[in-house]
């Protein structure tokens, strides 16, 4: 491949966009063009809806899309994780069946990894997949599944071998969510929202051609998905777009975004709403209380040092320097910030902290903070798991002796479907 000149690429894309972009096209029509031309995911292989471009050209591509407010391929939610996993581990038949409809947004996906009995210990999954001679039969339960209620397909991690050690008995499948053996129920959280689902499998089926990679390699495939999840959280590219644009395609995209973003509407409260602290303290007069002032200062110290630490990590990454320990600390720091913010909001609101909804401060917003913050130190890896990771991988401390080696059948586990 010839080295590519950024400006040449920019001109080529600009010409293509100018002759193809139509704000009054339908979302699917436009995204089909993007998929076929390779401009939707230019860093993907040219054989699979891409252009073999290096990642370094992404900013140029984004700039050109932003310049004319062009809509991109569907890249929100679990979709791109599914696509990345299938690109890396799927066969050609799987790639041709799934990738295109991921990009057009016609299909939505969910991730079926966590179980009631295996949260931090994801590899302890006991949802089973048994081959009956013609297809895989799935039984078990998954939990914390975002968007499962409107997903067309799921990325399923299930146990296919109970004699193998824990990590070696898992396999990875694509499961059709529209079937009688799959039942999705919302999971109501302590803050009243239901952003996630529980998914029950009762003799659900997966065709042999939807087995991803080889049997027993499921953990490795799941790691690919999780790695992309982490990476997209770090570098999620959001193309700048002007607001209130007119045209059919924008209306359709807004509807899509509203559906995708619905589960996340309480997330700012989960993080503690540090931004509200000063104005609330002034409004309530608590700003004059020396104890509250100390607590506010502690919060500001935590919040700002967390922000600077994240920026140190990003700056090192951008300069291609080896990332120091600061890159692994963000999640733990965020928990400290959220918890301190919750404490400070409680001090500021005093007895009003008991009140919620229309009777509570800021029409229930403060109450929502107080009952959402506990999620911060759990979701996406508990603080305790983060500390293990920091201690073992960053500080290089010795590992805990394991109790879960040997055949998985004999490993102590939470109650669930019995082994055969």
Partner 1 sequence: MQFTFNEEQDQLRATAQKFLADKSPTVEVRRLMETHQGYDPIVWAQLSSELGFTATHIPETYGGLGLSYAELGILFEEMGRTLLCAPFLATALGATAIMNVATESEKSELLPDIATGTRIATLAVFESFGKWDTDSIELTAKNNRLNGTKRYVLDGHIANFIIVVARTTNRNGADNIGFFLVDGDAPGLKRRVVKTIDSTRKLTQLEFVDVAARRLGGNADQSAKLAETLDLAAIGLANEMVGGAQHLVDETVKYAAERIQFGRAIGSFQAIKHKCADMLLDVEMAKSAAYYAATAAASSDPELPVLANLAKAAASEAYMRIAAECIQIHGGIGFTWDNDTHLWFKRAKSSEVFFGDPSYHKEQLVTRWQH
Chain residues that interact with partner 1, rule: CB under 8 A: 278, 287, 290, 293-294, 296-298, 300-302, 304-306, 308-309, 311-312, 314-316, 319, 321, 324-326, 329, 332-333, 336, 384, 386-388, 390-392, 394-401
The total of other beta-carbon atoms located within 10 Å of residue 38's CB is 20
Closest distance to partner 1 from the beta carbon of 333 (Å): 6
How many Å is the maximal CA-CA distance in the chain? 74
Which one, 16 or 278, has the nearer CB to partner 1?
278
Which one, 244 or 400, has the nearer CB to partner 1?
400
Closest distance to partner 1 from the beta carbon of 411 (Å): 19
Closest distance to partner 1 from the beta carbon of 345 (Å): 16
Which one, 8 or 402, has the nearer CB to partner 1?
402
Closest distance to partner 1 from the beta carbon of 245 (Å): 34
Which one, 395 or 418, has the nearer CB to partner 1?
395
Which one, 362 or 394, has the nearer CB to partner 1?
394
Closest distance to partner 1 from the beta carbon of 328 (Å): 9
Which one, 262 or 392, has the nearer CB to partner 1?
392
287 near 293, Cβ under 8 Å?
yes
Which one, 89 or 286, has the nearer CB to partner 1?
286
Closest distance to partner 1 from the beta carbon of 54 (Å): 24
- What is the distance between the alpha carbons of residues 268 and 278, in angstroms, rounded to a whole number? 17
Closest distance to partner 1 from the beta carbon of 277 (Å): 11
């Amino acid at each position: 491949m010839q080295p590519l000149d950024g400006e040449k690429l920019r001109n080529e894309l600009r010409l293509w966009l100018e002759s193809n972009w139509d704000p009054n096209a339908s979302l699917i029509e436009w995204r089909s063009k993007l998929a076929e031309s390779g401009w939707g995911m230019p860093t993907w292989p040219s054989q699979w809806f891409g252009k073999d471009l290096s990642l370094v050209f992404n900013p140029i591509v984004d700039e050109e899309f932003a310049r004319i407010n062009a809509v991109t391929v569907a890249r929100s939610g679990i979709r791109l994780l599914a696509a990345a996993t299938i690109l890396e581990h799927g066969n050609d038949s799987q790639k041709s069946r799934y990738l295109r409809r991921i990009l057009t947004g016609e299909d939505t996906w969910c991730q079926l990894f966590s179980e009631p009995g295996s949260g931090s210990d994801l590899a302890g999954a006991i949802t089973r997949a048994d081959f009956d001679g013609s297809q895989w039969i799935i039984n078990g339960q998954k939990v914390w599944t975002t968007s499962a209620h409107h997903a067309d397909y799921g990325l399923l991690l299930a146990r296919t071998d109970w004699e193998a050690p824990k990590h070696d008995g898992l396999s990875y499948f694509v499961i059709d969510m529209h079937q009688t053996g799959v039942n999705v129920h919302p999971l109501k959280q302590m803050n009243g929202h239901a952003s996630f689902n529980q998914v029950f499998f009762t003799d659900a089926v997966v065709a042999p051609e939807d087995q991803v990679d080889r049997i027993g390699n499921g953990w490795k495939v799941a790691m690919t998905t999780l790695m992309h999840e982490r990476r997209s959280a770090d570098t999620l590219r959001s193309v700048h777009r002007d607001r209130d644009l007119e045209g059919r395609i924008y209306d359709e995209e807004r509807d899509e975004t509203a559906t995708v973003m619905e589960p996340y509407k309480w997330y700012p409260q989960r993080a503690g709403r540090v931004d509200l602290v000063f104005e609330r303290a002034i409004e309530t007069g608590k700003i004059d209380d020396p104890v509250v002032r100390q607590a506010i200062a502690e919060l500001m110290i935590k919040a700002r040092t967390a922000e600077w630490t994240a920026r140190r990590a990003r700056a090192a990454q951008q300069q291609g320097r080896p990332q120091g320990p600061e890159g692994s600390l963000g999640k733990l720091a965020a928990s400290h910030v959220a918890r301190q913010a919750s404490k400070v909001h409680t001090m500021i609101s005093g007895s009003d902290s008991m009140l919620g909804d229309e009777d509570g401060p800021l029409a229930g917003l403060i109450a929502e903070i107080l009952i959402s913050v506990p999620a911060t130190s759990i979701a996406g890896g508990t603080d305790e798991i983060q500390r293990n990771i920091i201690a073992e991988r960053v500080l290089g401390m010795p590992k805990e002796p394991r109790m879960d080696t040997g055949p998985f059948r004999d490993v102590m586990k939470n109650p669930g479907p019995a082994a055969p």
